[in-house]
Structure 1
């Protein structure tokens, strides 16, 4: 609202809300801190789980930061930015989502104290950016090189990523599956595409029944009961073309005047289908995976020829089959030649947890593999799947980058120590912001200690003391609460997880800090009861 000669002039729609200055900053920081505190208790191997119930009554039990934030129905715009941090972290490196969100929340908490001292947000933003750049440099100094062939170390990285995510005592076996799977799909240029690993979840059995298949598992059964259940030395044809009579592109009518003509027409259709199947048989194929439909009569001919067949296989599965077996996907049946066929030692239909699935195994050099995860209940299997995804992603990142850092809060304590030294050399008001950044780093070891039921202050003092003596890899032993060498313990994380978390947290904190005016338009959508939506707020989840 603006005044013009005493007459009020409406600029915004009636009902719009505007919050400006310190009030806007306070509101945004409070919302962001509320999101950080919601996931904070899940951090580390001793972190607790959250049970999330959606509007349909579906239950998710997890301590995976990004899953919690995705499932929570968050309204506040600043809080949504915190969710974005977690999503970015998850897409880039697959782990460290909770760390990134907790860091961002703590950076804003420290910034709030500086704002109360009348330090301008731009000064804080500049200091935070400098500190983040310096932190990345320090981390690179801390990092240790790792060879992609060092399976033991890769296994330790996978175990660290899985710890606390419901994998229990089976972490060792699952980590081994993750490392073998990633090593199988590394491309010639050293890049790793985790999409080439298919993870199938099946309820039943125990976690230790999970297995790695050097090939593909497809959640489909053979097309016809007369087809063989097992094919050894399989020659596999991948078809992106239907084995059925296609309708004409243009409208056409066929006039039939006698039963003989109708019979001839049907005989011709049958002959065409038989010719299609004969074409497949002539190439020597004994297994067919078809992306499109297959006519019932064609199914009969394929079964008669003893060819194991699946139809309507997903496009993504077809591409993975091509990578696993070396076959080429053919889009025209007439173009199929023996050179297009892939090979597998065994194609077999097996029943797992009551479902028939097709296993394509014993491939020579599969660039696509599958993992079957088993567990007692659906919630266990779902959480196991999230743990496995994290493990696969971090192992993939380390194989690509070849750099890792110690875990257990060690890098954060070292960063806090070195950033305080750096702050002293900067001077000016930015120095206070860099010191605040260093202070915020210590939230990670503090939270790890708190979640393990240890004393925060005692733990932090012990860790600082070791780092001041030059023990850069000293982190928190969750069992004893002592500061020990994390590299010796095998608690390690990829360098990229830490750099991404610090960059994302700093950028989000700076962005939220620089907002000094929030203009919320009046909501036009009415709810189910005909009421208009409330102005966006955090909801009651964070009381």
Structure 2
């Protein structure tokens, strides 16, 4: 956790390269998404773009992150995926306005969380005086129309309801130039209130106060093939955005949505700890070499302090280091051979069944992309006996950007869980064997 750790990379939010590398590592970990290199890079850039849009720039006082709303569209290329500020809402085709219509900013918006369908059981809190000879449905409809007249009088241009709106009220509002959105759904209520400043109205028994109205800068239509989405653009700087994800079929699209949400979570963790770790197994092999070297040099005093023999202590150290190297070697899925260099202790992949005397320096870069090979590089197979050494930090005149990064917070948590699990197994005094 120290800043001097050679595996630790500081993240600069003014430069996006490392953030994109971190996002790409998360997205590439989900092969079920079936992404090409270009598609993976495109989604990684979009994920970082959307994440940065949710971070407020100049808001005094307590800072809260915004929202990323994900919209999925099946049957289109992944490269058509995009990020938009504001919200994209799926509305019925007949609800779209003429794109030639002009709207002067700001557009006043009212938002209802109560049903406006006219059903007696869904009118919200309040009292309706039902006279014996009058139709209750007509009374509720009259009340809905009074509500409509008030919002028209207040020059509201966008009328949104979480649930259903009575067709008569819809027609009345539309005839008076008000754009109507119904069945918004509970998932979009919070981001819409956050973006517009509107206060959801939970009853139709009283007219909405002026402070309940929100503001929108512009309405427009975004089209993805035959599918049209209504774009609500924020009037002021907003931390709400929409990520439109496209893929060839529904299964891949669902996987892409899950990994995009996971990427957002990993990127948010960087706000608490703006650091990442070298990926591609290099952190694990580097730590294994460092721990071996340090523990062997301090074996006498450490073993005495723990109340065990030096042999027992070194066996425990070797077991822990083998576990780290196993994690690094498990990243290779194509039958390659995992090795480590004896200088920086980074992770490398060679062709399968290669012999030690056949190893040369023409293997490109290590797993994280920071260290390049050379003819003088010496190698060792992972999980094999080799002389201990102190890994040398990578020092260059011009810093090299890692191509693969891992989440610092997630990796640290995984290490802590692994150690706690090992301690629990020792307390139970049973051997746990992986039979897979």
Q: What TM-score, normalized by structure 1, do the two folds share?
A: 0.59
Does structure 1 residue 144 correspond to structure 2 residue 9? yes
2:55 pairs, out of 182, 186, 204, with 186
Kindly indicate whether the alpha-carbon contact (under 8 Å) linking 1:416 and 1:438 is maintained by their aligned counterparts in 2. yes
Q: Distance in 1 between matches of 2:208 and 2:402?
A: 55
Does structure 1 residue 284 correspond to structure 2 residue 155? yes
What is the CA-CA distance between 1:312 and the residue it aligns to?
Answer: 3.1
User: Number of aligned pairs?
Assistant: 366
For 1:52, the equivalent position in structure 2 comes to none
For 1:167, the equivalent position in structure 2 comes to 35
Kindly indicate whether the alpha-carbon contact (under 8 Å) linking 2:18 and 2:402 is maintained by their aligned counterparts in 1. no
Counterparts in 2 of 1:327 and 1:252: CA distance versus 1, 3 Å: closer
Q: Distance in 1 between matches of 2:88 and 2:425?
A: 46
Does structure 1 residue 467 correspond to structure 2 residue 344? yes
Range that drifts further, 265-274 or 424-433? 265-274
Kindly indicate whether the alpha-carbon contact (under 8 Å) linking 1:229 and 1:348 is maintained by their aligned counterparts in 2. no
Partner SS state of residue 219, structure 2 = strand
What is the CA-CA distance between 1:396 and the residue it aligns to?
Answer: 2.1
Q: Distance in 2 between matches of 1:254 and 1:337?
A: 28
Kindly indicate whether the alpha-carbon contact (under 8 Å) linking 2:337 and 2:349 is maintained by their aligned counterparts in 1. no
Does structure 1 residue 219 correspond to structure 2 residue 90? yes
Partner SS state of residue 275, structure 1 = helix
Q: Distance in 2 between matches of 1:161 and 1:245?
A: 48
For 2:348, the equivalent position in structure 1 comes to 476
What is the CA-CA distance between 1:327 and the residue it aligns to?
Answer: 2.5
Counterparts in 2 of 1:382 and 1:490: CA distance versus 1, 3 Å: same
Kindly indicate whether the alpha-carbon contact (under 8 Å) linking 1:238 and 1:290 is maintained by their aligned counterparts in 2. yes
Task: Using CA pairs under 8 Å that are at least 6 residues apart, name the structure with larger relative contact order, 1 or 2.
Answer: 1
Counterparts in 2 of 1:138 and 1:418: CA distance versus 1, 3 Å: farther
For 2:383, the equivalent position in structure 1 comes to none
Q: Distance in 1 between matches of 2:324 and 2:409?
A: 17
Kindly indicate whether the alpha-carbon contact (under 8 Å) linking 2:336 and 2:349 is maintained by their aligned counterparts in 1. no
Does structure 1 residue 154 correspond to structure 2 residue 36? no
Counterparts in 2 of 1:488 and 1:270: CA distance versus 1, 3 Å: closer
For 2:318, the equivalent position in structure 1 comes to 435
Q: Distance in 2 between matches of 1:285 and 1:158?
A: 41
Please show how residues 19-418 of structure 1 align to structure 2 within 5 Å: 136=1, 142-163=7-28, 165=30, 166-168=34-36, 169-187=38-56, 193=65, 196-221=67-92, 225=94, 228=97, 232=103, 233=105, 234-243=107-116, 244=118, 246=120, 254-256=131-133, 268-332=139-203, 334=206, 336-348=208-220, 352=224, 357-361=229-233, 363-418=235-290
RMSD: 3.5
Q: Distance in 2 between matches of 1:325 and 1:251?
A: 31
For 1:26, the equivalent position in structure 2 comes to none
For 2:358, the equivalent position in structure 1 comes to none
Q: Distance in 2 between matches of 1:279 and 1:219?
A: 27
Runs of 5+ consecutive residues of structure 2 not aligned to the other structure: 304-308, 352-362, 372-399
Cα deviation digits, residues 21-45 of structure 1 (max 9, x gap): xxxxxxxxxxxxxxxxxxxxxxxxx
Counterparts in 2 of 1:442 and 1:269: CA distance versus 1, 3 Å: closer
Q: Distance in 1 between matches of 2:231 and 2:141?
A: 31
What is the CA-CA distance between 1:203 and the residue it aligns to?
Answer: 0.5
What is the CA-CA distance between 1:355 and the residue it aligns to?
Answer: 5.0
Range that drifts further, 336-345 or 176-185? 336-345
Q: What TM-score, normalized by structure 2, do the two folds share?
A: 0.72
Counterparts in 2 of 1:191 and 1:511: CA distance versus 1, 3 Å: farther
For 2:355, the equivalent position in structure 1 comes to none
Does structure 1 residue 485 correspond to structure 2 residue 354? no
Kindly indicate whether the alpha-carbon contact (under 8 Å) linking 1:229 and 1:349 is maintained by their aligned counterparts in 2. no
Kindly indicate whether the alpha-carbon contact (under 8 Å) linking 2:245 and 2:253 is maintained by their aligned counterparts in 1. yes
What is the CA-CA distance between 1:218 and the residue it aligns to?
Answer: 2.7
Counterparts in 2 of 1:138 and 1:212: CA distance versus 1, 3 Å: closer
Cα deviation digits, residues 98-120 of structure 1 (max 9, x gap): xxxxxxxxxxxxxxxxxxxxxxx
Q: Distance in 1 between matches of 2:92 and 2:423?
A: 54
Please show how residues 448-459 of structure 1 align to structure 2 within 5 Å: 448=331, 450-456=332-338, 459=339
What is the CA-CA distance between 1:318 and the residue it aligns to?
Answer: 0.8
What is the CA-CA distance between 1:268 and the residue it aligns to?
Answer: 4.8
Does structure 1 residue 506 correspond to structure 2 residue 419? yes
Partner SS state of residue 330, structure 1 = coil
Q: Distance in 1 between matches of 2:226 and 2:422?
A: 50
Counterparts in 2 of 1:475 and 1:285: CA distance versus 1, 3 Å: farther
Cα deviation digits, residues 31-70 of structure 1 (max 9, x gap): xxxxxxxxxxxxxxxxxxxxxxxxxxxxxxxxxxxxxxxx
Cα deviation digits, residues 387-429 of structure 1 (max 9, x gap): 3223322222223321122112111112101221343322233
Q: Of Structure 1 and Structure 2, which has the larger fraction of its residues in helix?
A: 1
Runs of 5+ consecutive residues of structure 1 not aligned to the other structure: 1-135, 469-473, 518-537
Kindly indicate whether the alpha-carbon contact (under 8 Å) linking 1:139 and 1:495 is maintained by their aligned counterparts in 2. no
Q: Distance in 1 between matches of 2:350 and 2:69?
A: 33
